[in-house]
Amino acid sequence: MTNVENEATQQTEAGGERPKRKGPSRRLLILGGLAAGGGIAIGAALSPFSRLNEQRAMVGRPGESVLLSSLRIAPDDSITVIYPHADMGTGVGTALAQILADELDADWDNVRIERAPGETAFANGALGQAYVRGDTEIPAPLAGLSWLVTRRLAETMNLQITGGSTAIAMTGMEGMRHAGASARYMLTRAAAKSWGVPVEEVDIKGGRIIHASGKSAGFGEFAEAGLEYDPPARLPFKSKSAYTQIGKSRPRFDIPAKVNGEAIYSGDVRLPGMVFAAIRLSPVPGGVLESVDAAPASGRRGVVKVATLPNAVAVFADNFWRAREAVRALDPVWSPGENAQLSSAETIKSMEAAVRSSGLKKDHARGGAARTIEEAGEGAIERVYTVPYLAHAAMETVGCVAWMHDGELEIWGAFQDALVAKYQAAKTAGIPSDRVKVHHTEMGGAFGRRGYTIDFLDHAVRLAQQTDAPVNLIYTREEDMTQDYYRNASVARMRAVLGEDGRPQALSHHYAERHDPKDASRFPYDVSGLDVRFANGNSAAPWGAWRSVDHSIHGFFIECFIDELAHEAGQDPYIYRRALLEHNPRMLAVLDAAAEMSGWSSFSGADGSALGIAIKESFGTVVCEVAEVRISDTGAVSVPNVWVAADPGLVVNPDGFIQQMESGVVYGLTAALYGEIEFENGQVVQQNFWDYPMVRMADCPNIEVKVLESGARTGGAGEPGTPPIAAAVANGVFALTGKRIRQLPLSPPGAQLGA
């Protein structure tokens, strides 16, 4: 069951966003300094089209016109939206196309999508533009320079990343809206010139260019002529009331090929003479290969070669099964290096000591909280929470295809930043980047693993250098699980002093470790005294961005502690949160919506269940989740229902957004119930889904999602559904059993519940 509500009471011509700050941001002041100090002329010439000839050469098609880096128009009036993002199963290409099509007033039946190539000409300057703008409107005199600087920055940083829930919030609302408005500007002026009429009399509706007299034409007729006109760097956007595509649920373009089997993943790639590679890497992070006897593998059927790397051994064979069985037959000798004694249990102990030490670094603070808590002594409420390392465990294991030939390197694979992959592959191969070509394949999940931690690409390139044939490197599930870059383990020491009304007068949150984003530890609640500090350097395990990154950690810490404070105050946890959010109307509206959906105030629990609640803002989207919890006779926790209320400011494709909320809940629930990576003697203990289980379909809760649109700046969708669920479930367990869960995961069944 789904529901979409529009709660925006104030809309602007910038597409329904909240009113802008009056003063310029620090980022804009820096940009202004660049303009003044550099003496750069500002105007239409600095708009982001100077690479158009390169872009046309890369994505052009016979008879079609590349009007912009993100738009190609065919003679039959169909338009292809070219988007600089990977689709990790989120349907982001469809939503981005909706945004551009809306500003252009295109006919949706004529819209197609295509992923931009991993080339510098398609670096994503819109991400930088959105970051620079923040909540402000860039002044017109700085608009052209802003686009130029952010595009150049994107090129320098090889920025084409898909992550941080930025695709819609930044590329879409900044880049695609600008592209759609620019195309409208170009097409209407080309038509006005051809028809000999004032441009004010020309408009676009339903995919047709229309004159006031009734004369009309399709996009294809004036696409090439439109190139004569350089749109200004700052254009007005539609008001929300004029939207025709944004806010509508459109079927995703990527689904049919995934259903009928036409979608190609890297493991599906077939090239003449291709060999398949299975790999075994040092089981200890940072370890190296000392030696290996190739004989047990070399004589096997289909085996082509045994290859070695500094930290790995691999087998080439004529199919992957034979390569896998052959590499398993080997007995490599490893030198484990400095991480030979790496232990997750010992790491947790060091974190527990660190959060009690005096040498913590300041995160943020206000109101003299530290002193208030110290003066309270044993009167302060103190709790300690722990979360473990987590693997990404995407359904498609990592791997890619690499082929060195004629001094060039071709790559077939799924990367969250194809441009970074291109330059990293060039560096690994020792060749110029212009001799590397990246071919996109579909992505069977990623959640951060295929972003900047693409060591598998390095391995594929180095293996390709040892043969003339294309090499299809595929990790087994065991290698994928044990060679991951993990969500870090973390410990938090939370303390608070409550006033007579039960509200926290002072609260401290000391934790280890800190990664990204920096605002993950922010408290949304009305607490006058706050002291947040952290310790880093206690973990030697490989770290990588994991869905919602540090928000998944602090969502558990903060929301469990707030629940405990409500209990200490003798108050209902929902009502307690309401009081602490009275000055945060956006979060309060989401909290109330989730409570209403779940029937919080009238829930009886007569059938042996209870409700837990948690709320978290991440990546610009506020999400509150209520979980219904049951516990079996063996102590196993089950979650039959989850209610989700979410406010992304503006929703583009409601069905797609709802799917991401559902996905975030399932991913976070898997981690809460089962997820734990342990290191013993330097090696990962968990090997496969039998000891790192997933939530299966039979155990998946019914998830009801309600979307609220406050008109705040548009937030993300891919990650915000994950952070609240673990705390909601843990709080539900307490409501049902009276036993607090302060350490994840909840499995093995009954281990913490006393069953």
Q: What is the tens place of the pLDDT at every residue in 53-95?
A: 999 999 999 999 999 999 999 999 999 999 999 999 899 999 9
Please provide residue 592's backbone torsions phi and psi, each rounded to the nearest 5 degrees: -65, -40
| pLDDT reported for residue 131 | 73
Mean pLDDT confidence for 139-149? 80
Q: Find how far residue 254's CA is from the centre of its chain.
A: 18
Helix (H) or strand (E) holding 427: helix 418-429
Q: Decide: helix, strand or coil at residue 572.
A: coil
Higher-pLDDT residue of 27 and 594 is 594
Q: What CATH class does 17-238 carry?
A: alpha beta
Structure tokens at 540: 């030697």
Yes or no: say if 71 and 100 are a contact pair by the CB < 8 Å rule: yes
Q: Which residue has the tokens 């329904």?
A: 16
**Domain coordinates in residue numbering, the chain:** 17-238, 266-336+398-474, 355-389+486-737
543-580 pLDDT, tens digit each: 999 999 999 999 999 999 999 999 999 999 999 999 99
686-745 pLDDT, tens digit each: 999 999 999 999 999 999 999 999 999 999 999 999 999 999 999 999 999 999 999 999
> Looking at the predicted structure, is the pLDDT value of residue 445 above 90?
yes
Residues in the chain: 755
156-203 pLDDT, tens digit each: 999 999 999 999 999 999 999 999 999 999 999 999 999 999 999 999
CA distance 366 to 352: 24
CA distance 187 to 202: 10
Please provide residue 512's backbone torsions phi and psi, each rounded to the nearest 5 degrees: -140, 135
pLDDT tier for residue 747 given thresholds of 50, 70 and 90? confident
Helical packing angle, 573-580 and 585-598, nearest 10°: 160
Q: What is the mean pLDDT of the chain?
A: 92
Q: Which residue has the tokens 């919602």?
A: 548
Mean pLDDT confidence for 483-492? 98
Question: What does pTM read for this prediction?
Answer: 0.93
| pLDDT reported for residue 50 | 66
| pLDDT reported for residue 38 | 36
**pLDDT above 70 coverage of the chain, percent:** 92
Is-same-fold flag (17-238; 355-389+486-737)?
yes
529-545 pLDDT, tens digit each: 999 999 999 999 999 99
Pick the CATH number of 266-336+398-474 from 3.40.190.10, 3.30.365.10, 3.40.50.1260, 3.90.550.40: 3.30.365.10
pLDDT tier for residue 47 given thresholds of 50, 70 and 90? very low
Domain 355-389+486-737 fold: Aldehyde Oxidoreductase; domain 4 (3.30.365)
Yes or no: say if 61 and 88 are a contact pair by the CB < 8 Å rule: no
Helix (H) or strand (E) holding 579: helix 573-580
Order of strands across the sheet that contains 436-440: 303-309, 312-317, 275-281, 471-474, 399-405, 408-413, 436-440
**pLDDT above 90 coverage of the chain, percent:** 85
Yes or no: say if 558 and 519 are a contact pair by the CB < 8 Å rule: no
| pLDDT reported for residue 748 | 53
603-635 pLDDT, tens digit each: 998 889 999 999 999 999 999 999 999 998 888
> Looking at the predicted structure, is the pLDDT value of residue 43 above 90?
no
DSSP for 269-319, written as a single string = ---TT-EEEEEEE-SSTT-EEEE---HHHHTSTTEEEEEEETTEEEEEESS
Higher-pLDDT residue of 7 and 240 is 240
CA distance 79 to 229: 19
Please provide residue 11's backbone torsions phi and psi, each rounded to the nearest 5 degrees: -120, 150
Mean pLDDT confidence for 323-350? 98
Mean pLDDT confidence for 589-593? 98
Q: Which amino acid is at 149?
A: V
CA distance 307 to 625: 50
Helix/strand/coil percent split, the chain, to 5: 35, 25, 40
